Structure 1
Amino acid sequence: MTCRTNERTTVRVIGRTARSLSLGMVALLGVGTLTATAAPPPPSVAQGNQWDVRAVTGGYQLTLHLDTPAPMRASLPLLAVDGKPLGVAKQSPDRKSLTLVSADPAVLKARDVRLVWSGDLGKQSGMSRGITAAGPTDADWLKARRGPLLPADPGALGKYKVDTAEYNLGNEAVYLPGLKHRSELLGKVYSPRGAIGPRPLVVFLHGRHEVCYGEPTHPSDNDKPWPCPAGMKAIPSYRGYDGPATALAGNGYQVVSISANAINAWDSEAYDAGAQARAELILDHLALWRKWSTIGGAPFGTRFVGRIDLQNVGLMGHSRGGEGVARAAVLNADRGGQYGIRAVLPLAPTDFARATVPGVAMSVVLPYCDGDVSDLQGQKFYDDTRYSVGGDTAPRSTVTVMGANHNFFNTEWTPGQSVAPSNDDWFGDEKASPCGAKYPGRLTAKEQQAVGTAYVAGFFRLQLGHEKQFLPQFDGSDSRAASAGKAVVRVVSQAPLGSRRDVNHFDKTLPAGAVTGKVTATVCAGVTTTGLRAATPTCMATDDWSNAPHWGTAWFAAKTPTTAVTQLKWTGTNGVVRVSVPAGQRDVRRFAALTFRAAPDPAGAPKTDLSVRVVDGHGRAAVVPVSAVSDALVRMPGSNDSGLPKNLLRTVRIPVSSLKGVDLRDVRAVELRTDRVASGSAYVSDLSFSSPGLGLSAPAVLLPKLSASSVTVKEGDKGTHLVDFWVTMSRPSIRPVSVYVETNGELGESVGGIGRQLVFQPGQVRQKVTVPITGNTRDSYDLPFSLVLSAPHDGLLNESFGHGLVLDDDPTPTLTLTNLKTTEKTGLVSFGVKLSAPSDKYVSFTGVLKDGTAVIRKDYTSANDEGTGPVDRSIDGYVEPGQTTGDLSVKILDDKLKEPAETFSAVIQQIDGAELKVPMTLTATIIDND
């Protein structure tokens, strides 16, 4: 089976022989590019029929040229050379060119250059698209266990009729600092007719999708991507959530769904792929609603005065909008919690920078057949936040929806429902398990939208309205809504403190004596690329990060460790892993269930099982097989292809009431036993006793806020000097605060890469982060890079990206061009080209050829002239980085006529990368050889 998104663009090309270059370089991985601005660009040093490589400062500039615009996806665009991704590519405004700078010399020998996507790493777009064998457990998921029906249906229409309206303050109504562009302020409002008093407000934010559709009246590659060019219409992605918006409004909630087309149009230039800009846009809309709900104003007059409760706000974000709403909750807390953002639902979200969302109730929806964010990286919002703040009383959960793709949660991204062209992002044989469009386990668009409505509406009704009848929907018991139909949904839940007692996180080595028999318990994190040995224990060996959502790295925080769990491996039925319950915590009568997360090891047996044994102070015990209460140890569907099966930790939930014969006032230990199967391997995490609960959710305004400074520094002339960034906290803390920090971007040979954890001790508010900068005497471009903060503990990210800029301080070299004197027989020949000093820039210059006594195409031609069609009089030259001599070639034509010396001239009109007074006229003299 091969299932892949049809938004992937593949280009196969064969490279030509490359010129050799001698440049001191280091490995580079980052976002954005630093490119020469010359016209025309520097000559290529390697190329295929749709790509080229040019030498620039910091390495090699690789550009892929597409016949049609690259799709607008949530995942980051990468350029891969011969199957190896080199880094994040910057898209041109028309998305027909993708460019990155890499120091990897593999680009010079490239035979295959492709656009791939960050969510799809490991997938081979050239794989067979036929049906292959389904995974060994696929049939189990077609008849998967389903929990009881909820007593009320969150997707049902409520007692209120729903009024809708739209507001539009203009396509460029507000400036977003995180985008450095202006954005529209446009939204669709859903209101409960006749509802009295202030109502909770829920804001929806769509994700990264195409911005405009139709044909432009005056096509031009120079058109700005936003606002839409004349003749084209804006895609109304904000209108795609009528289902959940209507379900909420009909039950008394105010909903507004906002447009973010400007961000989608410009976010390839943003340092964080637009997360900050999306957060700023949300807060700008909330500022409008603060005005409309207090003093009123156009276009609504006093209609909403006294009708909106801005201290009870929920945010739903789809795709990159999911990262946007997570950032908005934190940004709101950074600004003092001016809005009461109490609930956040990232839907099929990106998480490029490993942010946390403490203090706020959160549920992350993960569609199993996501063909865009197919690594389900939003799982890390849950993993990174769950223990990030001591005393956090907010509940959180993940909701994995089997058979759901990325796009169909939004009707404007769904074929047959959208006004603009749209597609099913999961691509492959229609009957292939488990995600083919006609496979029995795949949800139709309307079925998927019904599930989305049930979980979006249920979550906000629970968290904002405290409608406790929906607690079982999010507590891991897999209770289901009638309107969700046949959908198989798996929920992992972390109950709030006060409703939860943690027994063991399973992220640290167990004490001596806890493991007996033929079983080992090893703490692991991350993945190992097949064939390589990792320095620390990793959880999986895979070439495809998309099948390991807990353990794939983030693109802007690649050095931040991923989730640590315990991996059990056993070769006998006598293995026991015993976790002791400390004194003072042994009375568990008030809790509803014993829970932990578990998943089978993909390298182990196709089916496995464990027993859970709970022991009291008298030695009495109750034993429950995992398979009797959960399918967490059943491998998820798929056949080791296209990122499937996913390896996701799922809930094992044992009701405390089922522990017959055990004194619940005196539980001494919980044991995991290998008595069910003779050999196996599994991951376990997060053992606790808990009960469903609402907890307390509010902006985390009391946490200290962490910020990275920005630094501009001169490069210097020699050696390595140290530049200091500062990571600061807004106030001292009474307990340690930690955060991971690393450099990211176009590091080139000037900036040293770092990555480590900072720990602020009580009372400490400032720490230095030293970055080495290597100087030289060569003229270079200024070099931007970032210092990224991620995965904080007991703190909140404020300015999480520090901006570094290395200013080149070397003089621009002078270019000297000299006249040419040659004979007819020389063929291709160059004027004299000399640079006063080596440069890191690619020096380029252009001009035109003018006849004298020599006539073009009779006595000489431009090196660019193909000899057919109109005469090409252009001439261009260059000096490669690190060199002092270069090339400015023309082609001399030989004839058999005896004639006097002839001349023509080259008028140089443009220069980039060096000093030269233009226009400058050079004379070429051709000496007859007959």
Structure 2
Amino acid sequence: MRAVAGGYQLALHLNSPAPLRASLPLLEVDGKPLGVARQSPDRKTLTLVTTDPAVASARDVRLVWSGDLGKQNAGRGRGTAEGPTDADWLKARRGPLLPSDPGALGKYKVDAAEYDLGDEAVYLPGLAHRSELRGKVYSPRGAVGPRPVVVFLHGRHEVCYGEPTNPSDSEKPWPCPPGMKPVPSYRGYDAPATALASNGYQVVSISANAVNGWDSEAYDAGAQARAELVLDHLALWRRWSTIGGGPFGARFVGKLNLQNVGLMGHSRGGEGVARAAVLNADRGGQYGIRAVLPLAPTDFARATVPGVAMSVLLPYCDGDVADLQGQKFYDDTRYSVGGDTAPRSTVTVMGANHNFFNTEWTPGQSVAPSGDDWFGDEKASPCGAKYPGRLTAKEQQAVGTAYIAGFFRLQLGHETQFLPQFDGSDSRAASAGKAVVRVVSQAPLGSRQDLNHFDQALPAGAVSGKVSATVCAGVTSTAVRAALPTCMTTDDWADAPHWGMAWFAPMAPTTAVTKLKWSGTNGVVRVAVPAGQRDVRRFAALTFRAAPDPVGAPKTDLSVRVVDGHGRAAAVPVSAVSDALVRMPGSSDSGLPKNLLRTVRIPVASLKGVDLRDVRAVELRTDRVASGSAYVSDLGFSSPGLGYSAPAVLLPKLSASSVTVKEGDAGTRLVDFWVRLSRPSIRPVSVYVETNGELGESVGRVARRLVFKPGQVRQKVTVPITAGTRDSYDLAFNLVLSAPRDGLLDRSFGRGLVIDDDPTPTLTLGALKTVERTGVAAFPVKLSAPSDKYVSFSGVLKDGTAVIRRDYAGVNDDGTGPADRTIDGYVEPGKTTGELQVKILDDKVQEPTETFTAVIDLVDGALMTVPKPLTAVVTDND
């Protein structure tokens, strides 16, 4: 531990490299996670800066993962008890079968080929390293004309496997050292790639091992680098499909339509393809990226993906990204841009884990070591490997194929027979087998009519009877202090995907919903239908999102009542059409059950006796159960539709500047960042902005919403920097932009650097004079001025007339094995004297004065003036 500019720099050294996971590495002190740790290239050292004074007296420091919070001593290490509704999900309702199976092979034979331009073929600015350009292409044999293109990007997994010829070579993560082979993660999606290619699509699955190897150093965990890599591959294919060349000659000339592109990204690759779609729009939409499917994705910085069709696939038994943070892609994007005509959905797959969508991450199928990311008792509900509701690897891969292929065939090929797969009606693909899947859908603008988002207080008179309607956001265990009440109390926000914080944007408010709570059967929440929107005959269904309160009954119910202008009404129990108000499976000690809003879908045709030309109100009534509590969101009428999807090139782009400043010696400096729009907008543009990273106490915390008025193109964000006179470390931090409205994120991380400008103090060590009976003696240690650094130094002990282990010993020598001749010392932050100790052994034998020496050869945190060697004189006392 080291003090830094009013805070503390904490370092944890591991005996072996930390695993490569999608989750972020955190340092936990005495059971409390303090923040995201920076990993060294060899993944053996993790550091972070914190202002928490508890680290000064820390007893236990360990590595934990952002996806595991709350499960360190629970479901990760033992079985989980069955929850109160688990049996319901083993016999859950299933929708009708699709008339066409998206996972089935089509009429084309598939040709597969690979290309490899080298391990360091391209430089990625977002990574500050070079990357491989390697991929596998799947082509429909005999297909005529340019075909839609789908690019697959795998996630964060081990980079190399095997034993290095020289162990020291393994400290550099990429390229693989001699004796090791690259893990071929890009080959792990053969089934969905083949399903698409056999139906006429060109599919390219690309390798991202360099990004995985180096992204621990990236300010955004590699999202920008992954996006750049996707666009670099598309640039290759633009050339190969127009003028030819490269490894394929003229084979693909005229075969790829790069104005009709879809992207699938798994794990951190999901965040990468989301960023690629936005980056492509920032650069003018040079490629027609029209559809994005993040699969079990990370979303560390609360980005939005407007303009393009999006479906987020969430595996319920994800043991890596266990908080299902990809849910926020949907939540944050759905109303982020006025006039957005793209459809979006979330697809929750019960019984699926994080890894098994990729065969190269699946035991028994992969060439490199792999494993099940969900741990615990194999028979435990709902995610144990042998529990009836858990999918086998092949079953999970079949589900992945059905939804990946169905999504891109729908959005790129306009194969509308797959609309019911993504409209919330839970229509099933035959190839998905027994899988229970729940879809939430936002129909494109033009195919829907929003009545109430339920993210603001209802008007006076809308609530009557024994029911309350409270707008809430967030959970009590996060650092967010929003103006709204929190929706849940939990120690593990893995069970609250809508409301857990994002680690790079922890202060940005999360999804606001309305929480209903009732104590009688007469409660009514009435939503009026405005004039001009009362004819709903053109819509297929009345829909909203709902979930039960986790502290209430495991099952609850509401009635939905639709009222026309003559007072006639039709009422439908939620339980008759949806299991949205049935608690999801699992016990409360393993990040389960998830509290996910799910679809309530009432076909308009079922509203018998109501004049659908003149619907005046939709009511939520508590007449089904006497007491209960539930969350509701996004009420409206809608029909399935393709909408229009394209790069959002017309939106203004938001960028944050970077600032480097010297710390100074006195007072507080105000440092100005600038957040800029690429052009003036005719409507307000907003974005959340906050400081994050190695703040210490010298960098003031800033967190607020910026609103750009029409015509305004820049705003100043002032960050206070507290000066100091002690030598300290430079502090790097970020100004993070997140959750924009009516704009795109361009440079969403502004880089801040506070340079320490104080002189380094000098360390002086003196000779030791002591007597034999002293026991533990100390060499004089003095620092010329107090420092904010933890000053440490070390060296070796050498015999003179005194002999080690007979006359003296190192303080850490336990007397076993060879003599430990190391000697270590330190000066604590803020002090000018320190410790350099040695043990003096009393042998009870009369003897002359003896000497030994200490040679100090390594000093960290100070300059050193010391005689060489340091002499220790020991006077006999017998």
**TM-score bracket, shorter-length normalisation:** over 0.9
* Equivalent residue number for residue 751 of structure 1: 699
Q: 2:438, 2:598 within 8 Å by CA — same for their partners in 1? A: yes
1:190 to 135, 138, 163: 138
Q: What are the residue-to-residue correspondences of 1:389-428 with 2, within 5 Å?
A: 389-428=337-376
1:297 aligned to 2:297?
A: no
Q: What are the residue-to-residue correspondences of 1:838-917 with 2, within 5 Å?
A: 838-896=786-844, 901-916=849-864
TM-superposed CA distance for 1:57, in Å, is 5.7
Aligned residues: 878
TM-score scaled by length of structure 1: 0.91
1:266 to 214, 218, 225: 214
Task: Tell which deviates more after alignment, 894-903 or 346-355.
Answer: 894-903
Q: 2:471, 2:484 within 8 Å by CA — same for their partners in 1? A: no
TM-superposed CA distance for 1:128, in Å, is 9.3
* Equivalent residue number for residue 828 of structure 1: 776
Q: 2:766, 2:781 within 8 Å by CA — same for their partners in 1? A: yes
TM-superposed CA distance for 1:156, in Å, is 0.6
1:375 to 320, 323, 326: 323
Percent of residue pairs bearing the same amino acid type: 85
Q: Distance in 1 between matches of 2:862 and 2:28?
A: 33
Q: Distance in 2 between matches of 1:912 and 1:139?
A: 60
* Equivalent residue number for residue 723 of structure 1: 671
2:113 to 125, 140, 165: 165
- Relative to structure 1, is the Cα distance of residues 653 and 251 closer, same or farther in structure 2, using a 3 angstrom cutoff? same
Q: What are the residue-to-residue correspondences of 1:59-138 with 2, within 5 Å?
A: 59-126=7-74, 133-138=81-86
Q: Secondary structure at the match of 1:767?
A: strand
TM-superposed CA distance for 1:811, in Å, is 1.2
* Equivalent residue number for residue 452 of structure 1: 400
1:787 to 710, 723, 735: 735
- Relative to structure 1, is the Cα distance of residues 100 and 824 closer, same or farther in structure 2, using a 3 angstrom cutoff? same
TM-superposed CA distance for 1:431, in Å, is 2.0
Q: Distance in 1 between matches of 2:381 and 2:809?
A: 61
* Equivalent residue number for residue 179 of structure 1: 127
1:595 aligned to 2:572?
A: no
TM-score scaled by length of structure 2: 0.96
- Relative to structure 1, is the Cα distance of residues 222 and 808 closer, same or farther in structure 2, using a 3 angstrom cutoff? farther
* Equivalent residue number for residue 315 of structure 1: 263
* Equivalent residue number for residue 574 of structure 2: 626
The Cα offsets for residues 340-375 of structure 1, whole Å up to 9 and x where unpaired, read as 110000001111111000001000001111111111
Q: Distance in 1 between matches of 2:875 and 2:502?
A: 64
Structure 2: which amino acid aligns with 1:449? Answer: Q
TM-superposed CA distance for 1:71, in Å, is 2.5
TM-superposed CA distance for 1:827, in Å, is 3.5
1:335 aligned to 2:283?
A: yes
Q: Distance in 2 between matches of 1:231 and 1:606?
A: 55
The Cα offsets for residues 84-135 of structure 1, whole Å up to 9 and x where unpaired, read as 2122223343434444343333345545444322122222425696666522
Q: Distance in 1 between matches of 2:623 and 2:872?
A: 90
- Relative to structure 1, is the Cα distance of residues 850 and 141 closer, same or farther in structure 2, using a 3 angstrom cutoff? closer
1:248 aligned to 2:165?
A: no
1:552 to 500, 508, 518: 500
TM-superposed CA distance for 1:864, in Å, is 4.8
Q: What are the residue-to-residue correspondences of 1:42-57 with 2, within 5 Å?
A: 53=1
Q: 1:408, 1:424 within 8 Å by CA — same for their partners in 2? A: yes
TM-superposed CA distance for 1:825, in Å, is 3.2
Q: Distance in 2 between matches of 1:314 and 1:243?
A: 17
Q: Distance in 1 between matches of 2:374 and 2:783?
A: 54
Q: Distance in 2 between matches of 1:835 and 1:75?
A: 41
Q: 1:739, 1:759 within 8 Å by CA — same for their partners in 2? A: yes
Q: Secondary structure at the match of 1:606?
A: coil
1:152 to 87, 100, 116: 100
- Relative to structure 1, is the Cα distance of residues 529 and 879 closer, same or farther in structure 2, using a 3 angstrom cutoff? closer
- Structure 1 runs not aligned, ≥5 long: 1-52
Q: Secondary structure at the match of 2:168?
A: coil
* Equivalent residue number for residue 471 of structure 2: 523
TM-superposed CA distance for 1:869, in Å, is 4.1
TM-superposed CA distance for 1:69, in Å, is 3.6
Structure 2: which amino acid aligns with 1:229? Answer: P
* Equivalent residue number for residue 561 of structure 2: 613
Q: Distance in 1 between matches of 2:440 and 2:279?
A: 26
The Cα offsets for residues 800-856 of structure 1, whole Å up to 9 and x where unpaired, read as 111100000111122233333333333333333222211112223334444555554
* Equivalent residue number for residue 637 of structure 2: 689
* Equivalent residue number for residue 714 of structure 1: 662
Task: Tell which deviates more after alignment, 476-485 or 67-76.
Answer: 67-76
Q: Secondary structure at the match of 2:470?
A: strand
Q: 1:908, 1:919 within 8 Å by CA — same for their partners in 2? A: no
Q: Secondary structure at the match of 2:142?
A: coil
1:658 to 583, 586, 606: 606
Q: 2:80, 2:377 within 8 Å by CA — same for their partners in 1? A: no
* Equivalent residue number for residue 228 of structure 1: 176
- Relative to structure 1, is the Cα distance of residues 532 and 394 closer, same or farther in structure 2, using a 3 angstrom cutoff? closer
Structure 1: which amino acid aligns with 2:828? Answer: E
Q: Secondary structure at the match of 1:768?
A: strand
Q: 2:159, 2:213 within 8 Å by CA — same for their partners in 1? A: yes
Structure 1: which amino acid aligns with 2:106? Answer: G
Structure 2: which amino acid aligns with 1:578? Answer: R
Structure 1: which amino acid aligns with 2:172? Answer: K
Q: 1:58, 1:101 within 8 Å by CA — same for their partners in 2? A: no
Q: Distance in 1 between matches of 2:687 and 2:490?
A: 28
Q: What are the residue-to-residue correspondences of 1:513-592 with 2, within 5 Å?
A: 513-529=461-477, 536-592=484-540
Q: Secondary structure at the match of 1:731?
A: coil
Q: 1:833, 1:885 within 8 Å by CA — same for their partners in 2? A: yes
- Relative to structure 1, is the Cα distance of residues 84 and 263 closer, same or farther in structure 2, using a 3 angstrom cutoff? same
* Equivalent residue number for residue 468 of structure 1: 416
TM-superposed CA distance for 1:433, in Å, is 1.8
Q: Secondary structure at the match of 1:916?
A: strand
* Equivalent residue number for residue 477 of structure 1: 425
1:385 to 333, 338, 342: 333
* Equivalent residue number for residue 14 of structure 1: none
TM-superposed CA distance for 1:150, in Å, is 1.2
1:284 to 232, 250, 266: 232
TM-superposed CA distance for 1:445, in Å, is 1.1
1:922 to 847, 870, 877: 870
- Relative to structure 1, is the Cα distance of residues 829 and 697 closer, same or farther in structure 2, using a 3 angstrom cutoff? same
Q: 1:369, 1:405 within 8 Å by CA — same for their partners in 2? A: yes
Q: Distance in 1 between matches of 2:125 and 2:797?
A: 47
- Relative to structure 1, is the Cα distance of residues 532 and 618 closer, same or farther in structure 2, using a 3 angstrom cutoff? same
TM-superposed CA distance for 1:440, in Å, is 1.7
2:626 to 678, 692, 695: 678
Q: 2:164, 2:170 within 8 Å by CA — same for their partners in 1? A: no
Q: Distance in 2 between matches of 1:926 and 1:219?
A: 43
* Equivalent residue number for residue 254 of structure 2: 306
Task: Tell which deviates more after alignment, 216-225 or 126-135.
Answer: 126-135
TM-superposed CA distance for 1:871, in Å, is 4.3
Structure 2: which amino acid aligns with 1:186? Answer: R
Structure 2: which amino acid aligns with 1:700? Answer: A
- Relative to structure 1, is the Cα distance of residues 541 and 876 closer, same or farther in structure 2, using a 3 angstrom cutoff? closer
1:359 to 307, 328, 338: 307
2:438 to 490, 511, 514: 490
Q: Distance in 2 between matches of 1:132 and 1:191?
A: 45
Q: Secondary structure at the match of 2:719?
A: strand
Q: Distance in 1 between matches of 2:479 and 2:502?
A: 22
TM-superposed CA distance for 1:666, in Å, is 1.4
Q: Secondary structure at the match of 1:408?
A: coil
